[in-house]
Amino acid sequence: MSKPFYITTPIYYPSNKLHIGHAYCTVATDVMARYKRLQGYDVMFLTGTDEHGQKIESKAAEAGVTPQQFVDDIVTGPRGVLDLWKLMDISYDRFIRTTDPYHVQAIQRIFRAMYDKGDIYKGTYVGKYCTPCESFWTDSQLKDGCCPDCGGSVQDAQEEAYFFRLSKYAKPIQDLLENTDFLQPRSRVHEMVNNFIKPGLEDLCVSRTSFTWGIPVDFDPGHVVYVWVDALFNYMTALGYQNDQYHDYETYWPADVHFVGKEIVRFHSIIWPAFCMSLGLPLPKKVYGHGWLLLDGGKMSKSKGNVVDPYILAERFGVDALRFFLLRTFPFGSDGSFSNEALIQTINVDLANDLGNLLSRTTAMVMKYFGGTLPPQRRADGADGELVALASSLRGRYEEQMEKFAFQNAIAQVFSVIQRANKYIDETAPWALGKDVAANGPRLASVLYNLLETARVCGVLLTPFMPGSMEKLLDQLGAGPECRTWDSAAVWGSLPAQVQVKRGENLFPRVDMEQALAQLERDRQAGAAPAEPQVELEPYLEQPVDFDTFCRSDLRAVKVKDCQAVKKSKKLLRFTLDDGSGTDRQILSGIAQYYQPEQLVGKTVAAILNLPPRRMMGLDSCGMLLSAVHKEDGEERLHLMLLDDAIPAGAKIC
């Protein structure tokens, strides 16, 4: 039986659509959950929505719908919370909504249990009242002494309420924070102790009577349970605590870690353990308070109009690139400044350049020199030692960082190996060995094997961050299921010696910074999801072509043996092609803006061969490669016509 691992995200207020800051914590939790699954744990990953409270009641009223309709739309509606997590590839095991009947009933039981123990008592809540809004406010909620909703004046007021004896738990909570690893990073401990515990913990108001959108206290129906009592216990009710919906409490509680944003660390590290202590329940093992993603130096918020829509970014740049960026760029425990420039830069440097190049260069050379399948190799050359040692020991260094939730450092470890591998290509110069494959075959094969193996180990360890793309990367490397496991990531030589690679799509195309920023700005101004690209087609030709004329075009499948950028030309690529005749053919094609040359080596493409030769930039082009062409948002786009690699060079297209 595998060991359980229980991890949670905060449950989100569906009062506004989620932004990239919300996605940050959920992506981090997903990465942790996937990492633990990879290690063989029996993972329970919980997320959900926190659907009660005055804010939601008033927003629903403004929108002219019931609170339930309001939250349903944001949670289950199009482009709602559930859709976003699907798009972001979030592999949660359970999703709780605090309006789920089993949770409502469990909270009523929990509230009563704390009342029966004497930890909840009835008292008077003293605050300010805004008559037009019918709302109670505490002094700290007021804006310049006035109602934060309507800006009007407020009067002193009192409301009957239940209180939780938080003050009783001050000492044990201080011990917990100061003398254990319960709250991380450690820097957050001082803040909690100095700002909240040392000045004196006051009892906490845990019921309200001035609004109704909450869970009723069943023994005093005018009261609804304070939203944080309702919310915090989700971590237990979702496992079946005090309800019959689920039966996993014994298996998964106590939680291994709650990931939470820094502003709600107080609720999770002071109030939550006090509730657990009151009921005599085991405490969660850890709370990790992560930093915020800042925009223009401040917090993202709808009222500031500066929120970033994760839908737009994921659709423009790919889900995995976005997931990777969030954890590669910002240290998890501290704040970080989000910018589109930083996102594009990360895609281009780490993904397109370092990782993408390692993959495409290596697989292209295996195709070019060995037709896709490595022959027997001469293993272990002295020059390989450093790369082999680095890649073989990578898992240990990565694990050390992951266990500390230091995602950025774990990724950095992987990328230092990727960069070393790219340097190894330059050092071993496989293209030079490839000039005489007959003589250098075993050494060349061993260099390429080392590169494939390094890319595999890195691919396995990056899988939690970029699950979809790493699956494709491992497919291209020819890695079977046994080469994708946690164990295999520490075993050099897991790939079979005669591994067969598969060329595939370019996983991380380079992004043109200027164009992409302009497009994002247009998306932002449109204020919504990216518009479908405006596609313009070439005009259809009315004039018929007779059959014989068409048949005189010699259309063939050709294989790309080599592809190079043409010096001083922004547009042209020079292809050396196998057209089946036994003699190489050279064709120039104006597609340099759309493809990296090495990405095309080994591909099977369509060409017309019997056009008269044309001279361009001092080079002869004997024929033309066929491309599909259209205009997108006013700009021409060419897509090379890629054919099935099973088609032999020279096959006639008719």
List residues binding ligand MSP (CB under 6 A). Answer: 10-13, 21-22, 24-25, 50, 231-232, 234, 260-261, 263-264, 292-293, 299-300
Q: How far apart are alpha carbons 133 and 154 in whole angstroms?
A: 10
Shortest distance in whole angstroms from residue 68 CB to ligand MSP: 17
How open is the CA angle 312-313-315, to the nearest 5 degrees?
65
306 vs 440, beta carbon nearer ligand MSP = 306
14 vs 240, beta carbon nearer ligand MSP = 14
Shortest distance in whole angstroms from residue 71 CB to ligand MSP: 12
* DSSP string computed for 527-585: TSSPPPP-EEPPPPP-S---HHHHHTS-EEEEEEEEEEEPTT-SS-EEEEEE-SSSSEE
Quote the tokens at residue 45.
């990953």
Shortest distance in whole angstroms from residue 461 CB to ligand MSP: 25
SS3 402: helix
192 vs 606, beta carbon nearer ligand MSP = 192
Nearest residue to 499 (alpha-carbon basis) of 446, 457, 463, 462:
446
Q: How far apart are alpha carbons 376 and 499 in whole angstroms?
A: 10
Shortest distance in whole angstroms from residue 301 CB to ligand MSP: 8
264 vs 563, beta carbon nearer ligand MSP = 264
Shortest distance in whole angstroms from residue 74 CB to ligand MSP: 11
SS3 172: helix
289 vs 459, beta carbon nearer ligand MSP = 289
296 vs 427, beta carbon nearer ligand MSP = 296
24 vs 162, beta carbon nearer ligand MSP = 24
Cis omega (within 30 of 0) for bond into 185: yes
Cis omega (within 30 of 0) for bond into 254: yes
653 CB neighbour count, 10 Å cutoff = 15
Closest residue to ligand MSP in the complex (CB): 261
Shortest distance in whole angstroms from residue 577 CB to ligand MSP: 51
Q: How far apart are alpha carbons 353 and 415 in whole angstroms?
A: 11
Check residue 634 and give left, alpha or beta (phi > 0: left; psi -120 to 50: alpha): left
Phi, psi dihedral angles at 602 (to 5 degrees): 95, -10
Shortest distance in whole angstroms from residue 21 CB to ligand MSP: 2
Q: How far apart are alpha carbons 410 and 395 in whole angstroms?
A: 9
255 vs 260, beta carbon nearer ligand MSP = 260
Shortest distance in whole angstroms from residue 613 CB to ligand MSP: 59
Shortest distance in whole angstroms from residue 438 CB to ligand MSP: 58
- Angstrom CA distances, 89 to 29, 92, 465, 468, stand at 12, 9, 10, 8
Partners of 295 in the beta sheet? Answer: 298
Shortest distance in whole angstroms from residue 351 CB to ligand MSP: 23
* DSSP string computed for 342-393: HHHHHIIIIIIIIIIHHHHHHHHHHHHHHTTB--------GGGHHHHHHHHT
Q: How far apart are alpha carbons 254 and 404 in whole angstroms?
A: 19
Shortest distance in whole angstroms from residue 359 CB to ligand MSP: 32
472 CB neighbour count, 10 Å cutoff = 17
Nearest residue to 172 (alpha-carbon basis) of 291, 100, 275:
275
9 vs 596, beta carbon nearer ligand MSP = 9
b (16+ CB within 10 A) / e for 435-453: eeeeebbebbbbbbbbbbb
Shortest distance in whole angstroms from residue 26 CB to ligand MSP: 8
Nearest residue to 60 (alpha-carbon basis) of 12, 7, 14, 107:
14
22 vs 503, beta carbon nearer ligand MSP = 22
Q: Are 32 and 7 in contact (CB under 8 A)?
A: yes
Quote the tokens at residue 301.
């918020």
292 vs 508, beta carbon nearer ligand MSP = 292
13 vs 424, beta carbon nearer ligand MSP = 13
326 vs 477, beta carbon nearer ligand MSP = 326
24 vs 398, beta carbon nearer ligand MSP = 24
Shortest distance in whole angstroms from residue 16 CB to ligand MSP: 8
Spell out the SS3 assignment of 20-50.
HHHHHHHHHHHHHHHHHHHCCCEEEEEEEEC
Q: How far apart are alpha carbons 594 and 577 in whole angstroms?
A: 19
Shortest distance in whole angstroms from residue 11 CB to ligand MSP: 5
